[in-house]
Each structure stands twice: as structure tokens, then as C-alpha cells.
């Protein structure tokens, strides 16, 4: 493994730890603050979701570069596909966070953002499981390479 590959692997793991971990934590805490109707925290969590969501692209890009000629391997194809699915789920979570903030900001008592609570929790939970599956694929199959 060349020095460049080691640096890319370090960046790949670093992005995974410092972007995907916080993204998962942020999205899992959003329903709690919707229930308490804390708009200040919800706005902060939405900004955090955007920031960490963009930073997760670093995981994908460094993974593509590290994969190089092995990108056709089934475990890498599955990992990349799952990553794209989780990223799309995060786009929907961010959209629902905005909808919850708008609903809670309105004067109407009927707008309690209950729909968004369930959707954000479900999509965030599915994305967390996807991240774990990708982690398993990376550790199990990359170590046999």
C-alpha cells in the first residue's frame, strides 16, 4: 500500500467517523425536539444534518478513489449502492425537518408535525442500519483483499 493509499484510507475512515457518526446522532435526536416543539434546536439540527450530510460525500469520494480497479467487486458495488440509498434517505430527512419546522412555526394548533416525527425516525433508523451494513462489508471484505 502506497503512502497516498494510506492517506486516502485515513481520510476515508476519518470522514466516516466524523461525518456519518454525527449525522446518525443528529437525525436520531430530531423527533425528540419536534415533540418538545423546540424550534431553536430543530433549526440547529437541520443545519447540522446539511453539514454532516455534505461531509459524508468525503467518505464516498475517498472510497471511490481507494476502490480503484476493484470497483466491480460485488461487495464494493453493494456498498456504493447502499451509500446512495442512505444519502437519498438523508435528503428526505432534511426535507421533513424543514416541514416540521414550518408546521411548528405556524399559528395553527393542528400543525404538530406528528407525521414528520414518524418519517424522520423511520428513515433515520433505516439509514443507520445501512451504515452498519456498509461497515460490515468494508471490514469483512476489505480485510480479505
CA distance linking residue 127 with residue 130, whole number of Å: 5
CA distance linking residue 43 with residue 38, whole number of Å: 9
pLDDT by residue for the chain (145 residues), tens only, comes to 889 989 999 999 999 999 999 999 999 999 999 999 999 999 999 999 999 999 999 999 999 998 888 888 999 999 999 999 999 999 999 999 999 999 999 877 777 688 899 999 999 999 999 999 999 999 998 777 6
For residue range 36-71, list pLDDT tens digits in order. Answer: 999 999 999 999 999 999 999 999 999 999 888 888
Q: Which residues contact 93 (CB under 8 A, 6 or more apart)?
A: 27, 30, 49, 119, 120, 123, 124, 127
What pTM was estimated for this model as a whole? 0.90
CA distance linking residue 50 with residue 34, whole number of Å: 18
Amino acid at each position: 500500500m502506497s503512502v497516498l493509499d494510506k492517506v486516502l484510507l485515513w481520510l476515508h475512515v476519518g470522514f466516516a467517523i466524523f461525518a456519518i457518526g454525527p449525522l446518525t446522532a443528529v437525525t436520531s435526536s430530531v423527533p425528540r425536539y419536534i415533540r418538545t416543539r423546540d424550534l431553536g434546536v430543530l433549526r440547529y439540527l437541520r443545519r447540522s444534518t446539511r453539514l454532516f450530510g455534505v461531509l459524508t460525500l468525503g467518505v464516498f469520494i475517498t472510497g471511490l478513489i481507494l476502490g480503484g480497479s476493484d470497483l466491480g467487486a460485488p461487495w464494493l458495488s453493494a456498498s456504493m449502492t447502499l451509500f446512495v440509498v442512505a444519502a437519498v434517505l438523508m435528503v428526505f430527512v432534511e426535507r421533513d425537518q424543514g416541514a416540521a419546522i414550518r408546521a411548528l412555526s405556524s399559528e395553527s394548533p393542528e400543525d404538530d408535525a406528528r407525521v414528520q416525527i414518524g418519517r424522520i425516525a423511520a428513515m433515520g433508523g433505516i439509514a443507520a442500519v445501512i451504515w452498519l451494513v456498509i461497515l460490515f462489508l468494508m471490514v469483512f471484505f476489505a480485510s480479505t483483499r
